Structure 1
Amino acid sequence: MMTIARLAKNYTALLAIIGLFSSFCKAQINPVDITKVDSLMAQQAKPILILLSTDWCQYCQMQKNQIGKNRDFALSANLFYYVEFNAESKENLSFQGKDYVFKPTGKNTGTHELARTLNGPGTLAFPTWVLLDKNYQTLFHHGGVLTPKQLKELLDAIGNISVSNLQTL
């Protein structure tokens, strides 16, 4: 027969294990605000992975949902700064010492200059992925949803960049 003390001890251990497991499973990917990237880069330079999206884009929401559940993304998140930037943001902001503003294209439409700059020439599609190196140079650009396999390949590439950066220090 189990004593109450032993039962309580086993129950406490079980709750601790469940708590650790559930916190790992629910590991939230917390995007960095684009306005904080410059100061973070000054403290510790890392690659910057940016997801350009809009509030109305269902594919963008689907991609964000997939990222939130992606274990590889959560495990790799310390290797880079992850930014979700609303390409229709009306907020004036500074990035890399330059000021960017929202540019209207119609009565209730428009895009942010920074989204256009990060996208480069060509049509801006949503979602769009942009990977910048520690010197803010574009390493990767992809318009559209990344499949889990493509995302894994991108994370592996970022891991290789981070390892090579450590070797040059």
Structure 2
Amino acid sequence: MIAGLGKNYAVLLALIGLFSSFCKAQINPVDIAEVDSLMAQQAKPILILLSTDWCQYCQMQKNQIRKNKDFAISANSFYYVAFDAESRDNVLFQGKDYTFKPTGKNTGTNELARALNGPGTLAFPTWVLLDKNYQTLFRHGGVLNPTQLKELLNAIDDISVIDLQTP
């Protein structure tokens, strides 16, 4: 019986090790304030999710990302930023200072969210992909389904390979 317990114990330890390595693979967003210094060290594409705390679709999208294995695997190819579009913090991005602009009582948006969104109505969530030179390559207002997210990740991987081959 003790020998059987030893095998079960070994299996349990193996499962714990496997689970802990999977947990490490989860993606943690980069703070928008850190992007410029990270880009100075190593330029890569920047994938930004514009969201708000009250947006249920944004929370759903973030939850999908946390569980998405492809996202975790591709995470070294880009900087992922989850930016609260209603952030009241001043943000320095690309050498420009962006501030919160009230739009009513207890409401407003950060100027950076409007700049990244481009012309048109600001919707949540909105995805923005910037290349290593901060040029907008992709913008999508709304939730990305798993297939769309996979296609976006494949495109980022392709961009990263081209950037590595370019002197």
TM-score by length of 1: 0.92
Aligned to 1:41: 39
Give the CA deviation at 1:13: 3.9
- From the superposition, tell whether residues 44 and 106 of structure 1 become closer, same or farther in structure 2 (CA, over 3 Å): same
Alpha-carbon distance in structure 2 between the residues aligned to 1:3 and 1:12: 10
Identify the match of residue 15 of structure 2 among 15, 18, 22.
Answer: 18
Alpha-carbon distance in structure 1 between the residues aligned to 2:149 and 2:60: 14
The aligned runs of 1:80-119 (5 Å cut-off) are: 80-119=78-117
SS at match of 2:104: coil
- Structure 2 residues not aligned, in runs of 5+: none
Aligned to 2:77: 79
Alpha-carbon distance in structure 2 between the residues aligned to 1:20 and 1:52: 34
Is 2:62 the counterpart of 1:64? yes
Whichever residue aligns with residue 38 of structure 2, its letter is L
Give the CA deviation at 1:168: 1.2
Give the CA deviation at 1:3: 4.9
The aligned runs of 1:152-163 (5 Å cut-off) are: 152-163=150-161
Give the CA deviation at 1:20: 3.0
Alpha-carbon distance in structure 2 between the residues aligned to 1:70 and 1:3: 38
SS at match of 1:105: strand
Q: CA RMSD in A?
A: 1.6
TM-score by length of 2: 0.93
Give the CA deviation at 1:152: 0.2
Identity, % of aligned positions: 75
Give the CA deviation at 1:29: 1.3
Alpha-carbon distance in structure 1 between the residues aligned to 2:109 and 2:119: 14
SS at match of 2:133: coil
Give the CA deviation at 1:2: 6.4
Number of residue-to-residue matches in the alignment: 166
Identify the match of residue 141 of structure 2 among 140, 143, 154.
Answer: 143
Give the CA deviation at 1:23: 2.3
Aligned to 1:131: 129
- Structure 1 residues not aligned, in runs of 5+: none
Whichever residue aligns with residue 22 of structure 1, its letter is F
Whichever residue aligns with residue 148 of structure 1, its letter is P
Alpha-carbon distance in structure 1 between the residues aligned to 2:65 and 2:10: 31
